[in-house]
Chains A and B, each alone.
Chain A
Amino acid sequence: MNQIPFIPIALIILVLPLIGFFFTLLFGKKIKQMYLFETGIITTALGLSIYMAFMKLMYYANEKIVSELTWIDLGSTKAFGKISVDLGMMIDNVTVLMLFVVCLISTLVHLFSIEYMKGDKRYNRYFSYLGIFTFSMLGIVFTHNMLMMYIFWELVGLSSYLLIGFWFEKKSASDASKKAFVVNRVGDFGMLAGILILFANYHTFTFDKVFAQISQGVLPFNSEFWLTAMGILLFCGAIGKSAQFPLHVWLPDAMEGPTPVSALIHAATMVAAGVYLTVRIFPLLTGDALLFIATIGAISSFIPATIALTQNDIKKVLAYSTISQLGYMVMALGVGAYAYGFFHLVTHAFFKAGLFLGSGSVIHAMHHEQDIRQMGGLKKKLPITYTTFLIFSLAISGIPLTSGFLSKDGILASAYAFGNLTGYKIFAISGFLVALMTAFYMFRLLILTFHGEPRNEEKYHHAHESPALMTMPLVLLAILSIFAFYTINPLSAQTGWVLKDWLKTPASVVPEHARYSFMVQKHDEKPEAAVKHEEAVAEKPAAESEHTIIHSEEYTEALHHAHYPAMFLSLAVAGLGILFAFIMYFWRKINADKLADSVKPLYKFSLNKWYFDEFYDFAFVNGTLLLSRFLAWFDSTIVDGIVNGSAVVTRQLSKLSGLFDTYVVDGLVNLSATLSGLLGIFTRKFQTGKVQTYIIMVVFSLVALLFILMNYGI
């Protein structure tokens, strides 16, 4: 059916970064130029991925290419049947889009890092870590089953750990890396539970096979409740990895890592993996699960936005903004706007990576100063950085002609329509509020950094525009933040090729009454995607269900109606936010400090990040440590105490029995000895040794004998 060897190419793309990792790690010490090898490898992967994405989207946009092989075969038993674990790859439109995003940003970050990390003593090691990250991330992208998802999920966790803690000599960095890993594990704990439910019921990890079984009415433990629960539990992984409320606390700390790493991992790709996971499991999510996801998304977009308003560390602002934007994506998926959610992932990846790299450029220029209160007026010194940063800020604020506008507007419109259809208007309200705050804090950041007078003359004096290797990625990303790459209509993405041809909401497989009411079934549609197997597979994969489930006309109409109100509203709030930022920080009509003073409790609450860290430290970290100390005490005192106690008791008993032995048992023996001794002493008295005494005795004895005999005897 297709002549393009997609699977081999995908395998090569997947393995290339791993090779880069190994060789750079092993020879990095000896050969100083290993970083070039690694960068070259990633660039090759990028080239291949562009080719693959292009061919797939242009010629095979409606196909899904699956290939799998048996990894572990556990044979079969009479009681449980055949058990095997498969690995496999799946290539569809979402895959190749994500692949392109990951490879592109990874390559740009590699290039950027060549200058940014110059002079670091573990220069090559840094590049090898980037390699293993890219490998793990690509694994997530290509997977067609939940187990592989989990495997690579953990591996990106590892690479994130290694990269956040890259400067491990700093305690804050090693703390942050540990925190990131452990907090992610909390999410993975839920995800693992979800996987357990999945496997226990379907005996496979493969998405398509699970979907097929669900659509045939096989529910986990025969209940819809468990289907919802399974969806939510799987989503828990996304809560951790995408830093959603309540597990968002690790991401701001993760900014301890090198800034390019923040751009790659903690803005564009790894944190988006949560969204990607949700996209992958989207068909099995019930209405309740989606509502839960939307709620989490809304909360996660709102809280960090309020925190970002008051932060003064350039990277912290961006970190909170990232959480907030990820919340947007998650909320979009939750309200059923699958395509917009993923679309926002793509656009966000470009402009947020750009923002981070831009901030990296600023930090580089300012000699590792991250506090925006020390900056200002950098516009003249860093013209390219400034221009691109402005474009990214406009994109994230949702100003027309940018990519951000397209995706964000779509999400807001979907939330708006969702509110109209189901009555849950809160998502739209929160969405618009967040848009307002986003515009405000982004321009606050921009103005404080690049406009006005320099607040730290000395650092300003030394600042200079970054070298071309660093500005080039910025320019490239800025270009990608322009609408024209996604649609020809700058006001709506719907007619653009990304949404019209490439991203299609997959069929929901959950029972009809468990879905949102607007996700109904249409019976006369053709299957959306045909499944093709390139390699021999033991079992026939699940055929797509015959009828495709798409949004009802009612929903299409609601979306249509929501489009313009939502667009105007979002433009209005974005404009308002930018205006406020200018009033407060550019024209200084309102004194920001005074305003902060007048709402001091709120300001402090926001500045201290809603006290999440303090609360978690108090409730969970200290709780666990206390429990562990108590148990260690319990172990060494009580459990071991019983053991040692029994030893003591045994010893005492043995002493007792020893005493008994000495004084009673042996005492008797000695007593008889003593007695006979005494008797001896007594009788000894008769043994005078004098013959005459003996004779007297003999005679008297004889007389006595005779006497006795005569009286009693014969």
Chain B
Amino acid sequence: MTDMSTLSTFLTHIGLGHFLFISGMLFSLGIYGVVTRKNAVMVLMGIELILNSANINFVAFARYGNYGFHGQLAALFVIILAAAESAIALAIVLNIYKTFNNVNVDEIDKLRE
């Protein structure tokens, strides 16, 4: 019955676990996107997902962890950072495209050399 009670508790009481679950899902999806997508723009979008999963964590821990507004603050920073990062990343992608005429990350393995 413990399973049942745990499950029912999970279903009835929204708590930290739910946020973490969502965040974990988002993170996994992000990773998946980053790893599997060949298009650099799609990779960037994956990264956005990962960042947002982190934001959820920040906020959730701030709400349940008695840390004041530190979490929200951090989340705000991340959002700003993500925006900036996206701008730069997109610029890089554009440059990559200009250089390699391609945004397929598999093809761009100059780093290896």
Contact = CB atoms under 8 A, between A and B. Distances in A.
A696 interface: yes
A691 B105 CA distance: 8
B110 interface: yes
A76 interface: no
Nearest to B34: A695
Interface string A691-704: 11001100100000
A690 B34 contact: no
A687 interface: yes
B111 interface: yes
A688 interface: yes
Interface in A673-690: 687-690
A688 B31 contact: no
Nearest to A694: B111
Interface string B17-43: 000000000000001001110000001
Contacts of B34: 692, 695
Interface in B34-91: 34-36, 43
B109 interface: yes
Contacts of B105: 690-692
B98 interface: no
Q: Interface of chain A, helix or strand or loop or mixed?
A: helix
Contact of B112 (A689, A696, A699): A689
B35 A696 contact: yes
Interface string A452-466: 000000000000000
Interface residues of B, number: 12
Contacts of A692: 34-36, 43, 105-106
B79 to A, nearest CB: 22
B109 A695 contact: no
A688 B35 contact: no
B113 interface: yes
Contact of A690 (B31, B106, B113): B106
Nearest to B40: A691
Contacts of A687: 112
A692 B35 CA distance: 5
A440 B81 CA distance: 150
Nearest to A684: B112
Contact of A695 (B35, B111, B112): B35
Contacts of A695: 31, 34-35
Contacts of B31: 695, 699
Nearest to B110: A689
Contacts of B35: 692, 695-696
A699 B31 CA distance: 9
Contacts of A699: 31
Interface of A: 687-692, 695-696, 699
Interface of B: 31, 34-36, 43, 105-106, 109-113
Closest 9 CB pairs of A and B: A689-B112, A689-B109, A689-B111, A692-B35, A690-B109, A696-B35, A695-B34, A687-B112, A695-B35
